[in-house]
Structure 1
Amino acid sequence: MCGRYAQTTSRRSLEALLGAAAETDFPARYNIAPTQMIPVALVEDGARRIALHRWGLVPEFAPDLASGPLMFNARAETLAQKPAFRSALQRRRCLVPADGWYEWRAVGRFKQPYLIRRPDREPVMFAGIWESWKRPDGEALRSVAIVTVTASPDLAMVHDRMPAVLPPEAWEAWLDTRVDGRSLALRGLHPAPVGTFETVTVGARVNQTTNDGPEVQEPAPAIAEPVADAQPRLI
């Protein structure tokens, strides 16, 4: 599961990295949550571009925004089977730029937040699928889901799922809808190699989506593991 992430790379840097023109500027974000607008890279009319989409895919057939669960993630293993994702997998794939993502691990009665990022702090690209849904007023809403895979062994202690992170050599095929989506989902999406990412314990600021500055990524002491109760003595 990926329910919170960061994207602080500048518009110009992403344009250069992706060979794409951005439709609009976007600020650095340190604590992005579902339903917010996020930059994604896609191909339309034969050209790459970066556009803002709502995070949380709304299927074309949805009667309204409130119907059904908030689909901000899509499991790679079932993309080709689920009606909400099948068409997007083949016709509407995208890249979601990110600098890292957050996960929480239960420690006793509390949850320890972690920032997961590359050790060199370079941006990565999550595999994404997008959809266009027509509002009652006729305006189109574009929305996106981040594809997830089984977590790498070195990240599984934090969470059993992780975003599908695409290496640069896979970007073109993922964006090219002439390439069969089912094949890409089944054979082209894998956990990242062990050692690709580091985990950093961070403080409780990240728990509140209203906190969206660099302070949410400051390292913090880990929550202490609970000590098992001592066995009662027989007297």
Structure 2
Amino acid sequence: MCGRYAQTSSIEALAALLGATPIADFRPRYNISPSQSAPVVLTEGGERRIALHRWGLVPAFATDESSHPLLFNARGETAAQKPAFRTALQKRRCLVPADGWYEWRTIGRFKQPYLVRRVDRAPFMFAGLWESWRRPDDSDLRSFTVLTVAASADLAAIHERMPAVLPSEHWDAWLDMRVDGGSLAMRCLGGEPQGVFETIAVGARVNQASNDGPEVQEPASEQDQPVELTQPRLI
């Protein structure tokens, strides 16, 4: 599951890393939540671009924006069979830049938030899918979802699922729509090897999506207590 993440790299750094042209400006974000806009990397017209899309995929067959649940995650193992995702897996794959994501570990009735990031603090890419949906006023809603996989052994104690992190050697293939999406997903959604990521218990500020500054990543202090949540706080 991935219901919150951070993307704090500059637009210039991401453009250089990915060899992409930014077509939208964006600022560092420390607490991105579903329904908000965030940068994605896609290939259109033979050019690799960085654009802002809404997190929460609206399938092409939807009759209105609210006719489906907010599809912010898609299981990598079944995306090729699901009507909401299978066409996008073949024709509209994207990379979702990130510097970290948040998971909540259940402790009795409480949930402790954790920041998950690379040990070397480098940015990384989630495997994503995007769609374009035509609104009644003829404007386009561009949206995306993040694929998930079973958690790696060093993260499974926090949550049984994790976002699918694509190793850099698979970035080009993921953005090449000539490559079959189903076989590609089976081949390259295994994620990074064990030991690449670290987890840091953080304070309760991250529970509120309106808190979007670097303070949400501060390690939990002795005064911080796990919060009682009856449902995941995603928005």
Q: TM-score, normalised by structure 1?
A: 0.93
Residues 148-176 of structure 1 deviation map (CA, whole Å, 9 limit, x = unaligned): 11100110000011111111110000000
User: Where in structure 2 are the equivalents of 1:66-81 lying within 5 Å?
Assistant: 66-81=66-81
> 1: distance between equivalents of 2:48 and 2:196?
27
Displaced runs of 4 or more, over 6 A: 222-225
SS for the counterpart of 2:85 is: helix
Q: What residue identity is the alignment partner of 1:45?
A: G
> 2: distance between equivalents of 1:68 and 1:171?
29
SS for the counterpart of 2:90 is: helix
Change (3 A) 1:112 1:43: same
Alpha carbon RMSD of aligned pairs, Å? 1.3
Q: What residue identity is the alignment partner of 2:150?
A: T
In structure 1, runs of 5+ residues without a counterpart are 226-235
Residues 66-118 of structure 1 deviation map (CA, whole Å, 9 limit, x = unaligned): 11211000101101100010110000000000000000011122110000000
- Specify the alignment match of 2:99 in structure 1: 99
Report % sequence identity: 69
Q: What residue identity is the alignment partner of 1:4?
A: R
Residues 173-205 of structure 1 deviation map (CA, whole Å, 9 limit, x = unaligned): 000000000101122211431101000000000
Q: Is the 8 A contact 2:167 2:192 kept in 1?
A: no
> 2: distance between equivalents of 1:96 and 1:8?
12
Q: What residue identity is the alignment partner of 2:72?
A: F
SS for the counterpart of 1:177 is: coil
> 2: distance between equivalents of 1:113 and 1:84?
30
Q: Which structure has the larger Rg?
A: 1
> 1: distance between equivalents of 2:196 and 2:44?
31
Q: How many residues align?
A: 225
Q: What residue identity is the alignment partner of 1:122?
A: A
- Specify the alignment match of 2:35 in structure 1: 35
SS for the counterpart of 2:126 is: strand
Matched, 1:153 2:176: no
Q: Is the 8 A contact 2:58 2:68 kept in 1?
A: no
In structure 2, runs of 5+ residues without a counterpart are 227-235
Q: TM-score, normalised by structure 2?
A: 0.93
User: Where in structure 2 are the equivalents of 1:104-143 lying within 5 Å?
Assistant: 104-143=104-143
> 1: distance between equivalents of 2:149 and 2:56?
17
- Specify the alignment match of 2:51 in structure 1: 51
SS for the counterpart of 1:83 is: coil
Change (3 A) 1:49 1:221: same
SS for the counterpart of 2:119 is: coil
> 1: distance between equivalents of 2:2 and 2:109?
22
Q: Is the 8 A contact 1:35 1:54 kept in 2?
A: yes
